[in-house]
Amino acid sequence: MRILKAPFSRGGMGKTEGCEKAPDKIIEQCKDLYLNESGFVPSFETKEIEIEQDNIETTNKAIYEAVKKNSEDIIAPRTCLLGGDHSITYASFKGFASRYNGAGLIVFDAHPDCENDFSPPTHEDYLKVLIKEGTADKNRVILVGIRNWTGEEKEFLEQNGIKYFSMKQIMMHGINDIMDTITETVREWGESYLSIDIDVCDPAFAPGTGYTEPGGLTAREMIYAIQRLKLLKNIRMIDIVEVNPNKDINDMTSKLAAKIMTELA
Ligand SMILES: [Mn+2]
């Protein structure tokens, strides 16, 4: 798997300082993971995107160009972008969609990130902007793990008919049934992008993040979801965002992110 490091943490309105340390920290944790659960030795080829912490526009441009170029590389293996805060998904998905028009987007996140309408978009509204500007096709977006949202966000999702599976629904139907539905849907899509905000996991398993939200996925449910999604060959690009080593306990959160990465490899 190819890894693109995007150590940017200024798209979080001051609440994500520390996320810039995550790519190196996560890669470091991979050294303690030997075979993945499928029995393969994960192998990674790492590149770093040049980030300018003080300049979100330059950073977005660099991420966009790097992901676009990577997606145009016909021999590119499945690629994982390591953030950084969730604002990086804006430029990254845009770069991916410039190669794969109408690309699908699956987002694991406790929040819908459809709150404001800032320009450039932050980690609170990157998804709303992608949908409103038409970069993401609202019929090919699925949100998983939602459990804290504003009234406007709920309304935005419902008005646009965006599919989502809240934690409440996941609890009612079980992760297995939910993943059946998701994989059946995504299988019919073209090339797709998977974005994982680590706060989709319960803070008991992933405390090192800016917005801890009780009642999330267990580490095992997350890994199970990944093991199912990995079988979909049309998921070409993944990002893992919002891991914050400054807020972590015992490197639990970066270790979980490393585990997710090795399961995908
Ligand atoms: Mn979130």
DSSP line for 134-202: TSS-GGGEEEEEE----HHHHHHHHHTT-EEEEHHHHHHH-HHHHHHHHHHHHHTSSSEEEEEEGGGB-
Whole-structure pTM value? 0.97
Average pLDDT estimate for 214-231: 98
CA-CA distances (angstroms) from residue 199 to 43, 112, 142, 233?
A: 26, 12, 16, 25
Average pLDDT estimate for 42-69: 95
Q: With contact defined as beta carbons under 8 Å apart, do 71 and 236 qualify?
A: yes
- Pairing relationship of beta strands 163-166 and 45-48 according to DSSP bridges: unpaired
Range of the domain at 38: 2-264
Q: Please report, for the domain that includes residue 17, its CATH number.
A: 3.40.800.10
For the chain, state the CA radius of gyration.
16
Q: Cβ contacts of residue 51 below 8 Å, gap of 6+?
A: 6, 7, 8, 20, 59, 62, 84
The number of distinct structural domains making up the chain is 1
The alpha carbon of 16 and the centre of ligand 1 are apart by a number of angstroms equal to 11
Render pLDDT for 81-115 as a digit per residue (tens, 0 to 9).
999 999 999 999 999 999 999 999 999 999 999 99
Q: Cβ contacts of residue 204 below 8 Å, gap of 6+?
A: 218
The alpha carbon of 149 and the centre of ligand 1 are apart by a number of angstroms equal to 10
Classified as helix, coil or strand, 224 is: helix
Task: Please identify every residue whose CB atom is under 5 Å from ligand 1, which is an ion.
Answer: 109-111, 197, 199
Angle, to 10 degrees, between the axis of helix 56-72 and the axis of helix 88-99?
30
The alpha carbon of 207 and the centre of ligand 1 are apart by a number of angstroms equal to 13
Q: Which of 117, 114, 67 is nearest to 88 (CA)?
A: 67
Model confidence at 62: pLDDT above 80: yes
**What was the pLDDT predicted at 140?**
98
Render pLDDT for 184-208 as a digit per residue (tens, 0 to 9).
999 999 999 999 999 999 999 999 9
**What was the pLDDT predicted at 118?**
81
The alpha carbon of 89 and the centre of ligand 1 are apart by a number of angstroms equal to 12
pLDDT band at 75 (very low <50, low <70, confident <90, very high): confident
- CA–CA dist 223, 221 (Å, integer): 5
- CA–CA dist 100, 155 (Å, integer): 29
The alpha carbon of 211 and the centre of ligand 1 are apart by a number of angstroms equal to 7
Instruction: Identify the helix (H) or strand (E) that includes residue 128.
Output: helix 126-132
- CA–CA dist 130, 132 (Å, integer): 6
